[in-house]
Chain A
Amino acid sequence: MSLRQKNATLRGLSTGWWSSSEPAPGKPILFFIHGFPDDAESWRPQFELFEQAGYPVIAPYLRGCGPSEPASDRVRYSRDAVVLDHLEILREECRTWGEREVVVIGHDIGGMHAWTLARMLGPRLKGLVLVNAPDVGQLLRRVTRPKQVAKSSYIPVFLVRGIADRWFGPEADRSVRFARKKGGLTQPLPLPGDVSSLLEHYRAAFRDFRRVLFQKPDLVRAPVLAIAGKDDAFLEVPTQQEFKGYADKVELRVLEGNHWLQIEQKDQVHRLIQRFVEGASHAS
């Protein structure tokens, strides 16, 4: 295995990510973006398998967790700032690997950043994979679905500075375990430590609500694979209609399971992503 953790200063802030050192030629880059309250390790069960198969993989730590230094300026958590981080990481890796197509893969709020990155990659984007991950606009529009409103009841708490920061700060382990248990995670996953800075991603997305609600999102023209858990404690299962205006071709997969499908249904998710990446997608 040749995965290594790398670090760089991106626009003044230290940023870390995992990447392959010896990818096979011609394979697209798989860019894994984690969610909350996780770090890049939450994608390890997947990116290790793909790395072994010769795919160049990148799994960054989102701003504010692990080796990715938290920022004092909150604008660094905005989707625009995070997408610049991710573009710089891609550029850095492509210096060694050469220009390649990219498949962006996001989980949870990582999905929101995955959508943003997918929209910026132009013809380089080969596909977008979302695991338990709606875009911000899609989630906001679910306000008409009472079950989703109930499942998202934690979000307003996250938006208020000071409350959730205590729960997910230095003593985060208990809160993280609670969230993971609720989300059906039974497999072992290392605790990420202080993830209070990750709450800033929610807050930054909320501050951007005007753009989200009133501007048409850019259409993603590459194929999209959306994987949802039938019993996801935090998210209702998406529908094809939700993707109208977001993506041209969407393959929707509903699996038996909860919120951490990439770990709990590791083999099934792996098989779906692999088939998708290899181009045998049923995108409609």
Chain B
Amino acid sequence: MPLESAVQRISSRLSRVGRLPLLSRVSEPSAHAVSEQDAQGFLRSQKLAYDCAVAIGRELQPGWTERRTADLMDVYLRDHGVKTFFHHSFAWFGDRSSFQGFRHYWDFMPSRSRRLEEGQVVILDTAPVVEGYAGDIGFAFAKHPHAELARARSLLLAMRQELLDLFSGPAPTKEIWAKVDQRIREQGFQNCHEKYPLGALGHRLHRVPLPNLRGVGIPFTLHAYWSLLSRGLFPEVLGPWHEGEKEGLWAIEPHFGNERFGIKFEEILIVKDGQAAWLQEDPPHMKLPEGFY
């Protein structure tokens, strides 16, 4: 098929960049083999990122803009010693949490004009780099009881378990993508993660080779672009046509919703010897903190 072969050609050429003499020294080891030390490093990054989302989420008030919220998340993380990011923080409110009307890359940027209204659903997403380990989280919540969101959350948490089964099973990655998509649609929701670049249900995360280099670029930094592009991009992003190994470390972010709101989580999944496990046992979406719905 012409598209597939084009993708393979591009991917192959991009991955050659990472193997160039000097640049290959900058590439980190493959995320396919994750040591215990690395797992702890990624976990620290995830925990800090979730702490940030919960702390800022707790302070969030009607009237805050998405931009302001995202900026404060970055400030929180910097105050905790984060010098660089895989991507800077995002905040999406209301129908923007399900990417309604998003057509271009920059539509995803936190809006300066969208303000939080009472009762709206919020998604906070951030990806700090802590001691070289990139984390990437997504946390959806409302500040008041929200029946529809609660129903969606039940599905999301069920999907969390199902993803473990799918990654532990024989299905290839593109089939996993299709099954998740089908599950979402069967429940009457829209698939929102298909709107991410390359329709990413997830992506690889790696250690950042130069963690003291401030993250230039918004919202994704040079670290992110390098990390993904130097490895051919397409094998690094779990989209609807992904082909490649399941083994190793993924940031998985199922995201669905309707015209009014979206819900997601983003966690690190490690597949080792055919067995999948979530890196963090107790992310906040498993047991919502007080004041979150």
What does the 1/0 interface line of B41-69 toward A look like (CB < 8 Å)?
00000000000000000110111110010
Interface size on A, residues (CB 8 A): 21
A4 CA to B75 CA, complexed, in Å: 29
Decide yes or no: A218 and B65 within 8 Å by CB, A11-B80, A91-B59, A120-B59 being known contacts: yes
Q: Which A residues are in CB contact (< 8 Å) with B226?
A: none
Interface string of A22-42 (1 = CB under 8 A from B): 000000000000000000000
Q: Does B185 contact A (CB under 8 A)?
A: no
Interface string of A213-224 (1 = CB under 8 A from B): 001001001000
As a 0/1 sequence over residues 62 to 103 of chain A, the CB contacts with chain B under 8 angstroms (1 = contact) are 000000000001011010110110010001000000000000
Indicate if the CB atoms of B71 and A122 lie closer than 8 Å.
Answer: no
A165 to chain B, nearest CB (A): 23
B59 A87 Cβ-Cβ under 8 A = yes
With A80-B72, A80-B75, A84-B75 already in contact, the answer to whether A122 and B80 are too (CB < 8 A) is: no
Closest to B77 in A: A11
A123 at the interface (CB under 8 A from B): yes
Find chain B residues with CB under 8 A from A122 CB: 61-64
Q: Is A124 interfacial (CB-CB < 8 Å)? A: yes
List A contacts of B146 (CB < 8 A).
none
CA distance A215 to B65 in the complex (A): 13
Is B112 close to A, CB under 8 A? yes
A169 to B: closest C-beta gap in Å: 25
Q: Any chain A CB within 8 A of the CB of B293? A: no
Contacts of A87 in B (CB 8 A): 59
A91 / chain B contacts, CB cutoff of 8 Å: 58-59
Closest 4 CB pairs of A and B: A122-B61, A11-B79, A80-B75, A122-B63
Cβ of A121 within 8 Å of any chain B Cβ, yes or no, is: yes
Contacts of B16 in A (CB 8 A): none
Tell whether, in the assembled complex, residue B112 and residue A215 are in contact, meaning their CB atoms are under 8 Å apart: yes
Indicate which residue in A75, A84, A120 contacts B64 across the interface (CB closer than 8 Å). A120
B13 within 8 A of A: no
**Residues A12 and B64 in contact, CB atoms below 8 Å apart:** no
Are the C-beta atoms of B80 and A84 separated by less than 8 Å? no
- What is the size category of the interface that chain B forms with chain A? 10 to 19
Whole-angstrom CA separation of A123 from B117 in the bound complex: 11
A76 touches B61 (CB 8 A): no
A243 to B72 Cα, complex, angstroms:
25
**In the complex the two chains form, is B79's CB within 8 Å of A123's CB?**
no
Judge whether A80 and B63 touch: CB under 8 Å.
no
B76 and A218 form a contact (CB under 8 A): no
> Min CB distance, B197 to chain A, in Å?
28
16 A-B residue pairs with Cβ-Cβ distance under 8 Å, sorted by A, are A12-B80, A75-B75, A76-B79, A81-B75, A81-B79, A83-B72, A84-B75, A91-B59, A119-B63, A120-B59, A120-B64, A121-B61, A122-B61, A218-B63, A218-B68, A221-B63
Residues of A whose CB lies within 8 Å of any CB of B are 11-12, 73, 75-76, 78, 80-81, 83-84, 87, 91, 119-124, 215, 218, 221
Kindly state whether residue B78 has any CB partner on chain A within 8 Å: yes
| B61 with A12: CB separation less than 8 A | no
Q: Is the CB of B76 within 8 A of A11?
A: yes
Residues of B within 8 A of A121 (CB): 61
B67, closest chain A residue (CB): A215
Q: Determine the residue in chain B with the shortest Cβ distance to A124.
A: B61
Selected from B61, B62, B65, B78, the residue in CB contact (under 8 A) with A75 is B78
The residue in B63, B71, B76 that gathers the most chain A C-beta atoms within 10 A of its C-beta is B63
Expressed in whole angstroms, the Cα–Cα distance for A221 and B63 within the complex equals 10
Please name the residue on chain B nearest to A10 by beta carbon.
B79
- A4 and B58 CA atoms in complex are apart in Å by 26
Q: How far is the CA of A83 from the CA of B293 in the complex (A)?
A: 25
Q: Give every chain B residue within 8 A of A12 (Cβ-Cβ).
A: 79-81
Q: How far is the CB of A21 from chain B (nearest CB, A)?
A: 24
Q: How far is the CA of A81 from the CA of B68 in the complex (A)?
A: 12
Smallest CB gap from B71: residue in A:
A80
* Given known A-B contacts A12-B80, A218-B65, A78 and B59 have beta carbons under 8 A apart: no
**B residues in contact with A11, CB < 8 Å:** 76, 79-80
- Chain A residue nearest to B76 in the complex (CB): A84
Q: Which residues of A contact B79 (CB under 8 A)?
A: 11-12, 73, 75-76, 81, 84
8 Å CB contacts to A: which residues of B76-135? 76, 78-81, 112
Please give, as numbers and ranges, the residues of chain B lying within 8 Å of A218 by CB-CB distance. Answer: 63, 65, 68
A91→B60 CA distance, assembly (Å): 12
Chain B residues with Cβ below 8 Å from A80 are 71-72, 75
Given A84-B79, A91-B58, A218-B65, 12 more contacts at CB 8 Å?
A11-B80, A12-B79, A75-B79, A84-B75, A91-B59, A120-B59, A120-B68, A121-B61, A122-B61, A122-B64, A123-B62, A218-B68
In the bound complex, CA of A81 to CA of B79 (Å): 8
**Across-interface contacts of A124 in B (CB, < 8 A):** 61
Question: Which residues of B from 245 to 292 have beta carbons under 8 Å from A?
Answer: none
CA distance A277 to B74 in the complex (A): 34
Q: Which B residues are in CB contact (< 8 Å) with A81?
A: 75, 79
Closest to B81 in A: A12
Whole-angstrom distance between the Cβ of A85 and the nearest chain B Cβ: 9
Establish whether residues A120 and B61, one from each chain, have CB atoms under 8 Å apart when the complex forms.
Answer: yes
